[in-house]
Structure 1
Amino acid sequence: MKKAIITLSFVFLGVIAVFAQNSQFPSQVWHKGNIYLNDGSTRSGLVKYDLDNNLVQLQNETIETFTASNVSNFEIFDEIFGGIRRFYSLPYAINGEYESPTFFEVLTEGNDLALLCREYVATDTRGMNYWGPMGMNPLWGPQNSFGYRLAFNYYFFKNGRLQRYSLKKKDLFALLPGYDDEIDLFMRKNRLEHDKRGDLLRITAYYNELKN
């Protein structure tokens, strides 16, 4: 019996080790994609991005590194998210200092405004669940059971300006003015939250429809 318990312990540890190896966030893997440079040229191959440092890399026979200053936009096919994701370089002061070219992912856009985001890896304080190292909901983002999760800062691009969204409901209505009753009803009818990635995407897309 003791031998069996020891064997099962090693099997369990082996499973955990495999989970840990496969628990990668989208920014940690290479994706098929295209990079569109400011000089009008396009580079295609395997793409990896680093939003913390505003860098994007291209892998073919060698690895090339580009900064947000050199890139207009890039797109990847993300097998973790299961779709095409697009990132644009826009001037912004991330730390409240001077503006510099910064990568933002575009979630949805219309004639009036666009919803953008920047992802980051945050400490997961919701507890550990060893049986779901990359439990993935395409509307929420992957959750890593080993103490980290993918989180997002959200921004609205309107009238040529980027405004960071505080994740407070009253600020959402301030950023989407003129249709408070319609948006409130849409959120209640579809059980949408004001601070979730997929819900914000749907709310913003609905607002753009109302504006049209």
Structure 2
Amino acid sequence: MKKLFLALLLLQSSLVVAQAKNGSVAGAEETSDMSAYGTRVVVKKPPKYSVQGHQYYEDENKLASVYVNGKKMRRAYVRYNTLNDEIEVTEVFNILKKENIRVVLDEGYVYKMLEYEGTKQFFVFLKEGKNSLVMKVEKKIKQGQNAIDAYEKTTNDKYIEKRNYFILKAGGELLKIRLKQKDILKVFEDKKSEIEKYVSSKRLNYKKENDLMRIVGYYNTL
């Protein structure tokens, strides 16, 4: 009788553990979305933390074309994870870091691999051409603070985004720049006067990302 009681107790314990595990899975938030091929796929949302914001460059999944060695391989919804330096796909796999990878988003920008600080990293190509405007996006978690008196507010941890801009020259040199007139004209010093006239005539601003894209595009025509 004692052995039977112990067996029943062990069985009950195992069922409780199994239910707890199943409950944690069922509690995971999932949504369905249309894949790039028109079929329904399940997209698992990350668990909710107290950190404000998110670690992605895009606010939501974006439709893109993935090329390998110049050949279009697939259409997929993608999102760039700045913390892991990985491009995530709704079909639940990450794009490997290879030089021949090119991810073209319908939004108008491209992800490609570049050698930077001794490692291969994903960069956002804002303007492609003989000379390209590229951007490195990074996010870090800024720690919140607890209120120490009634006059202060408790703040949560949150993601802080940092953007670094570069000019990828025709010869392959990667030059870091700030969105300042002095830095930009130094990179394009061989056509400095033409750039200054163009910026003035079009009323462009060196500090604006979209205007810098136009400047780089114009430089490539000179």
Name the TM-score, length of structure 1 as normaliser.
0.61
Tell me by how many angstroms 1:153 deviates.
1.6
Provide the residue aligned with 2:27 in structure 1: none
Provide the residue aligned with 1:153 in structure 2: 164
2:56 and 2:80 in contact (8 A); partners too: no
Tell me by how many angstroms 1:34 deviates.
2.5
Report 1:158-197 matches (<5 A): 158=169, 159-197=171-209
CA–CA distance in structure 2, aligned partners of residues 54 and 148 of structure 1? 15
SS at match of 2:210: helix
1:154 and 1:164 in contact (8 A); partners too: yes
The alignment's C-alpha RMSD in Å is 3.1
CA–CA distance in structure 1, aligned partners of residues 110 and 102 of structure 2? 7
CA–CA distance in structure 2, aligned partners of residues 161 and 46 of structure 1? 31
Tell me by how many angstroms 1:92 deviates.
0.9
Matched, 1:199 2:211: yes
Q: Higher relative CO (CA 8 A, sep ≥ 6), structure 1 or 2?
A: 1
Residues 36-81 of structure 1: CA distance to partner in whole angstroms, max 9, x if unpaired?
Answer: 3469672432212113322012223xx112342486121222xxxx
Provide the residue aligned with 1:117 in structure 2: 135
2:101 and 2:112 in contact (8 A); partners too: yes
Identity score, percent: 25
Report 1:4-43 matches (<5 A): 26-37=57-68, 42-43=73-74
Matched, 1:91 2:115: yes
Report 1:23-102 matches (<5 A): 26-37=57-68, 42-60=73-91, 63-69=92-98, 72-77=101-106, 83-93=107-117, 99-102=118-121
1:25 and 1:150 in contact (8 A); partners too: no
CA–CA distance in structure 1, aligned partners of residues 201 and 99 of structure 2? 44
Name the TM-score, length of structure 2 as normaliser.
0.58
CA–CA distance in structure 1, aligned partners of residues 191 and 108 of structure 2? 30
Tell me by how many angstroms 1:25 deviates.
6.7
Q: Which entry has the higher C-alpha Rg, 1 or 2? A: 2
Q: How many residues matched? A: 154
SS at match of 2:197: helix
1:54 and 1:67 in contact (8 A); partners too: no
1:35 and 1:71 in contact (8 A); partners too: no
Provide the residue aligned with 1:139 in structure 2: none
- Quick one: which amino acid aligns to residue 103 of structure 1? F
- Quick one: which amino acid aligns to residue 173 of structure 1? L
- Quick one: which amino acid aligns to residue 82 of structure 2? L
Residues 115-143 of structure 1: CA distance to partner in whole angstroms, max 9, x if unpaired?
Answer: 111234699xxxxxxxxxxxxxxxxxxxx
